[in-house]
Amino acid sequence: MRVAVIAAEAVPYSKTGGLGDVAGALPKALRQVGVDSLLITPCYLQTKSEYLWQTAIDDLWVDWRGGSYRAKVFYSEANGSPTFLIDAPEYFHRDSIYGYREDHERFAFFNHAALLLLRRIGQAPDIVHLNDWHCGFAAVELASNRKWDPYWSNTKTVFSIHNMAYQGVFGTEDLWNFGLGSDFARNAFMSNGAASAMKAGLEISDTLSTVSRRYSFEIQSPENGYGLDWLVRQRASRLIGITNGVDYDVWNPQTDPEIDAHFSLDNLDGKIECKRLLLDQFSLPIDLNRPIFASITRLTAQKGIDLMMQVAGEILEAGAYIISLGSGERAYENFWQRLRDHAPHQVGVYRGYNEKLAHQIEAGADMFMMPSKFEPCGLNQMYSLRYGTVPIVRAVGGLDDTVRNFDAVNGLGNGFKFEAYSADKFQEKIYEAIFAYGDKDTWRTLQRNGMSDDNSWENAARKYVELYEWTRRL
């Protein structure tokens, strides 16, 4: 089976969040279970030149906005699968990956170019796997083309929802500019008087998936459907949830090149050294008996930062450390900064994005906080589990799929989990975690339970293969 994965970001070429991790890892995992997969993604200013192995196409002519645009295509296998990177400097060589007024135009272009590229490089794939609103355009273009173009006649589309909160909404007048002005296309995009790329992808793709099992149900409710829950319910028989995997080649405490001491299920000594180094790095006094609570996240309301703000005082009162890595909304950034000024011997803060530090924190911390409002899948809780860092999470989306609340009597469970979005409930779990940390054997059990979990991509990839097979038969 031939599968083309199309995504707006993919590790190691680009990453702002979980989508990048998934799109980078899935094509490789698919190859490992026998699928002939390839990846198409933009070449950004941020894409390191060492990953651009060679020029695949020097002149991909893209008919665009009444003219013709000459894009270049690079080839790489830096993520472990054949990858084509579309290079269109006007759209993608910018200071940030997202956040521009014309993002919809940038990704409409990317989608159109990606479909042209597939045609240029050979036989049509059986499945085009589209990801998030950035790829809603290709769902519609491919479905339109399928009606008259034999090249696409046997190609089906799978559309994965990584985050329903971002929908790519824009004025319908642009549809004409993108070659999507037909009645068919307009109807697909039309949502409350505007055009929505997420809606188009949901409506038109042959099948749908979400990045965790629980999230596939959550987006059918108004609370998490962001105005499109009705459409998800309507298409529920074509929807399946597949919990993301972890790339254990990248996130493995036994081999991780980003950390200075290594450890495993059988020997956790290296973790203590990582903790010492982490405290040292943040110029915190080194007391290895005190737990470190960590957070690595985009600082947005989705991530439950306001709950962290409410419990931070209690954590410090209990004598623990807090280390936060992240950037985002100013109010949240200011909060962490103020907390550090208030308790400089207990709090470490890094404002920004830092991949290496993310690995070092996972390795050196004791607890990891993810009290999210919603979490389509969440990856950091799974990285934490592998690094013996016990997650404290709210029971939503992928957090609910992957974290089992600790049962101290029977020694079962891999973390701490609460239901209601409430600081009191979060705090209860924090106290439970501190209490468990006080007993070395209990803590070891918790760590081992998490470290022996298998959240590998192999499991997830097999489920995607089943989804593709099903989609082909439709």
| Nearest CB to ligand ADP, comparing residues 367 and 436 | 367
Phi, then psi, of 24 in degrees rounded to 5? -75, -40
| Nearest CB to ligand ADP, comparing residues 172 and 354 | 354
Minimum distance, C-beta of residue 193 to ligand ADP, in the bound complex (Å): 28
74 Cβ neighbours under 8 A, 6+ residues apart = 43, 52, 53, 54, 55, 56, 84, 85, 87
Cβ-in-10-Å burial (0-12, 13-18, 19+) of 295 comes to buried
Minimum distance, C-beta of residue 377 to ligand ADP, in the bound complex (Å): 6
| Nearest CB to ligand ADP, comparing residues 47 and 380 | 380
Beta sheet of 127-131, edge-to-edge order: 54-64, 67-76, 83-87, 36-42, 2-6, 127-131, 156-161, 207-210, 239-241
| Nearest CB to ligand ADP, comparing residues 290 and 340 | 340
Of all residues in this chain, which one has the CB nearest to ligand ADP in the complex?
Answer: 18
Minimum distance, C-beta of residue 312 to ligand ADP, in the bound complex (Å): 18
Cβ-contact 275, 306 below 8 angstroms: no
| Nearest CB to ligand ADP, comparing residues 380 and 471 | 380
Minimum distance, C-beta of residue 362 to ligand ADP, in the bound complex (Å): 8
| Nearest CB to ligand ADP, comparing residues 110 and 251 | 251
The DSSP call for residue 133 is G
330 Cβ neighbours under 8 A, 6+ residues apart = none
What's the farthest any 2 CA atoms get from each other in the chain? 69
**Rounded to an integer, what distance in angstroms lies between the CA atom of residue 20 and that of residue 420?**
29
Minimum distance, C-beta of residue 199 to ligand ADP, in the bound complex (Å): 21
Query: What DSSP assignment string belongs to 11-50?
Result: TTT--SSHHHHHHHHHHHHHHHTT-EEEEEEE--TTS-GG
Cβ-contact 346, 316 below 8 angstroms: yes
| Nearest CB to ligand ADP, comparing residues 156 and 373 | 373
Nearest Cα residue to 332 out of 358, 380, 298, 364: 298
| Nearest CB to ligand ADP, comparing residues 42 and 326 | 326
| Nearest CB to ligand ADP, comparing residues 455 and 471 | 455
**Rounded to an integer, what distance in angstroms lies between the CA atom of residue 298 and that of residue 337?**
15
Minimum distance, C-beta of residue 205 to ligand ADP, in the bound complex (Å): 21
List residues near ligand ADP by CB under 6 A: 17-18, 21, 296-298, 325-327, 353-355, 358, 377-380
Minimum distance, C-beta of residue 413 to ligand ADP, in the bound complex (Å): 21
Measured CA to CA in angstroms, residue 292 lies from 180, 245, 426 at distances of: 52, 26, 16
Return the H-helix or E-strand segment holding 306.
helix 305-317
| Nearest CB to ligand ADP, comparing residues 37 and 243 | 243
Q: For residue 60, list its beta bridge partners.
A: 71
Cβ-in-10-Å burial (0-12, 13-18, 19+) of 55 comes to exposed
Minimum distance, C-beta of residue 208 to ligand ADP, in the bound complex (Å): 19
| Nearest CB to ligand ADP, comparing residues 249 and 355 | 355
Minimum distance, C-beta of residue 389 to ligand ADP, in the bound complex (Å): 12
Minimum distance, C-beta of residue 212 to ligand ADP, in the bound complex (Å): 10
HSE-CB of 171 using CA atoms within 13 angstroms: 5
What value, to the nearest 5°, has the Cα angle with vertex 362 and ends 241 and 9?
Answer: 50
Minimum distance, C-beta of residue 371 to ligand ADP, in the bound complex (Å): 13
Q: For residue 84, list its beta bridge partners.
A: 40, 75
Q: Say if residue 12 is preceded by a cis peptide, omega within 30 of 0.
A: yes
